[in-house]
Structure 1
Amino acid sequence: MNDPNSAEDCADYLERIVYLIDNELDEADCSVVRHHLEECAPCLQKYDLERTVKALVARSCSESAPNSLRDRVLVQLRQVQIEITER
């Protein structure tokens, strides 16, 4: 009899976890994945980690860099452009 939480089975669920987090699964698949997460602590931990990382990235992408940093980056980019064109 197959272990419902075998490494191969979990690998399939780990792929679907990303789709679950992004709301890209239909309700039937969501239910199946959620049921697996309720019974599989390692997958639940990976789900929590993925969700946390996605939330941090989303939050970071909405923050603006300070003007002083933006100005320094622009100066550096211009300097690199000048160096490239002089070669």
Structure 2
Amino acid sequence: MMSDHTEHIHVSDDPSNAECADFLERIVRLIDNELEAGDCAVVRAHIDSCSPCLERYDLQRTVKAVVARSCGETAPAELRERVRIQIQQVQVRITDA
């Protein structure tokens, strides 16, 4: 017997399913630790019962891990200085406008 607090989980192999589309943003937010505990449980339950969403979850986690590893480099001092100067120039133009 299901309690009133249990969300109905639709098992589907159709990744274009409207319910699954709603979960895509929530899956990304789950990976980024931006969901409340109750929402985390709902998303995890959906992922556990939906193969396409589990695949999306795994793909998103992999992409984020690769990007995080790739972003560990520090830009050369000369490049950082050029970027800082361009940002200041843009700020001046915006202020003068």
TM value normalised by structure 1: 0.68
Q: Which has the higher helix share?
A: 1
Instruction: Summarize the alignment of residues 51-70 of structure 1 with structure 2, pairs less than 5 Å apart.
Output: 51-64=61-74
Q: Out of 7, 11, 19, which is 1:9 matched to?
A: 19
Q: What number of residue pairs does the alignment pair up? A: 69
Task: Give the share of equivalent positions with the same residue, in percent.
Answer: 61
Structure 1 match to 2:54? 44
TM value normalised by structure 2: 0.61
Greater RCO (Cα-Cα under 8 Å, separation 6 or more): 2
Q: Which 4+ stretches in 1 moved above 4 angstroms?
A: none
Q: CA RMSD in A?
A: 2.5
CA distance, structure 2, for counterparts of residue 3 and residue 47 of structure 1:
17
Change (3 A) 1:63 1:37: same
CA distance, structure 1, for counterparts of residue 37 and residue 71 of structure 2:
29
Give 5+ residue unaligned stretches, structure 1: 78-87
